Amino acid sequence: MKLGVMIGADGSRNTLDDVIKTAQNVENAGLDNVWLANIFSFDAITTLALIGRATQRIGLGTAVTPTYPRHPTAIAQQALTTAAATNNRFTLGIGLSHQVVIETMLGMSYDKPAKHMREYLSVLMPLARGEQANFQGEQYKVQGVALDIPGAERLPVVIAGLGPVMLKLAAEMADGTNTWMVGPSTMDSHILPALHKAGSSDPTVVAGLPIVLTTNVDAAKEKIAQDLTIYGQLPSYRAMLDREGAAGPADIAIVGDENQLRGAIKRFEDMGVTDFNAAIMDTEEGAYDRTLEFLASVKG
């Protein structure tokens, strides 16, 4: 199982140079991937292109870029350009975002989101494979579009699939799923079986979870609960937390000593998760660096 670090999910405010330096530190620690959240800050795809030029080997991925604001041909062009800029270390992670964002904040329709994603992938995936896109749907009509991006190879695409329909699309049309706020029981009993049932024998399965190495467990969980409150309220994540029997994000966060963290990560590996995406929570002085050092030891 690959080990990576999520940047941006904790809502911390960093400069662009800070983000690039964090990615370099993750690479220097020997980890496999950096995943960048795309919230209301730096554009994740553009930032990862810059990170890719400042690093040598680490994998790069979005976790995740919303589909609705960008036409699939536009996101394909941007993503393939980033792939070319990073020696094809880039994985495009896309998702529907949330109704409150798309409808209330952006004023766009969130009607039939699963149909939207199916049509989106029908245009995006041929372009990701270097093929011509031809598709006539309700939301997208594309005819004879092909992209010529020198240096870009086949672009891996994962989607933020949590519900049964989205997981089916992740298995049938994309390369897998990138999850967030999914605890181990839900991963084992819901996410993985749904992907395999849909016929995907070797899907990419990214498990994104808050994590911190600390002896101050109660205080750390209290801070995580405060910092990640919104993720316990958004319907798609709330559904995953309810499946897990968790009151909120702090209840599925991996918090504790080396043995506790190592055991929790190993559990995901044993069940078939391909990528562990650590959202390191800087709950106290030194917590971030200490947790990154621990993850490096696990990888080593």
Per-residue HEC secondary structure of 269-291 comes to HHHCCCEEEEEECCCCCCHHHHH
Is 70 exceeded by the pLDDT of residue 154? yes
Q: Which amino acid is at 107?
A: G
Is 70 exceeded by the pLDDT of residue 281? yes
Domain 2-299 -> CATH class: alpha beta
- The answer to whether residues 37 and 9 touch, using CB atoms and an 8 Å cutoff, is yes
What proportion of the chain, given as a percentage, has pLDDT over 90?
A: 95
Q: Which amino acid is at 93?
A: G
Give residue for tokens 């109660």: 218
What is the per-residue pLDDT for 8? Answer: 85
- Quick one: average pLDDT of 122-145? 98
What is the per-residue pLDDT for 39? Answer: 86
For the chain, give the mean pLDDT: 96
pTM of the model: 0.96
What proportion of the chain, given as a percentage, has pLDDT over 70?
A: 98
- The answer to whether residues 38 and 93 touch, using CB atoms and an 8 Å cutoff, is no
- Quick one: average pLDDT of 56-77? 98
Residue 158: band (very low, low, confident or very high) from pLDDT cuts 50, 70, 90: very high
Q: Which amino acid is at 157?
A: V
Is 90 exceeded by the pLDDT of residue 147? yes
What is the per-residue pLDDT for 12? Answer: 63
Residue 250: DSSP 8-state: G
Structural domain boundaries in the chain: 2-299
Residue 212 pairs with which residues in a beta bridge? 255
Any residues with CB less than 8 A from the CB of 18 and at least 6 apart, and which?
A: none
Residue 11: band (very low, low, confident or very high) from pLDDT cuts 50, 70, 90: low
**What pLDDT digit, counting tens, does each position of 35-66 carry?**
999 988 899 999 999 999 999 999 999 999 99
- Kindly list the distances between the CA atom of residue 161 and the CA atoms of 5, 102, 113, 221, 262, in Å, as whole numbers in the listed order: 20, 17, 12, 26, 26
Question: How would you classify the pairing of strands 90-95 and 141-145?
Answer: unpaired
Closest by CA to 166, choosing from 203, 116, 210, is 116
What is the per-residue pLDDT for 195? Answer: 97
What is the per-residue pLDDT for 200? Answer: 82
**What pLDDT digit, counting tens, does each position of 188-225 carry?**
999 999 999 998 889 999 999 999 999 999 999 999 99
Is 80 exceeded by the pLDDT of residue 13? no
What is the per-residue pLDDT for 300? Answer: 77
Is 90 exceeded by the pLDDT of residue 9? no
Copy the structure tokens of residue 70: 């960008």
Which position has the higher pLDDT, 40 or 262?
A: 262
- The answer to whether residues 82 and 49 touch, using CB atoms and an 8 Å cutoff, is yes
What is the per-residue pLDDT for 234? Answer: 96
Dist CA 179 CA 38 (whole Å): 14
Q: At 85, give phi and psi (nearest 5°).
A: -75, -15
Any residues with CB less than 8 A from the CB of 149 and at least 6 apart, and which?
A: 77, 80, 81, 83, 84
- Quick one: average pLDDT of 74-99? 97
What is the per-residue pLDDT for 120? Answer: 98
Residue 10: band (very low, low, confident or very high) from pLDDT cuts 50, 70, 90: low
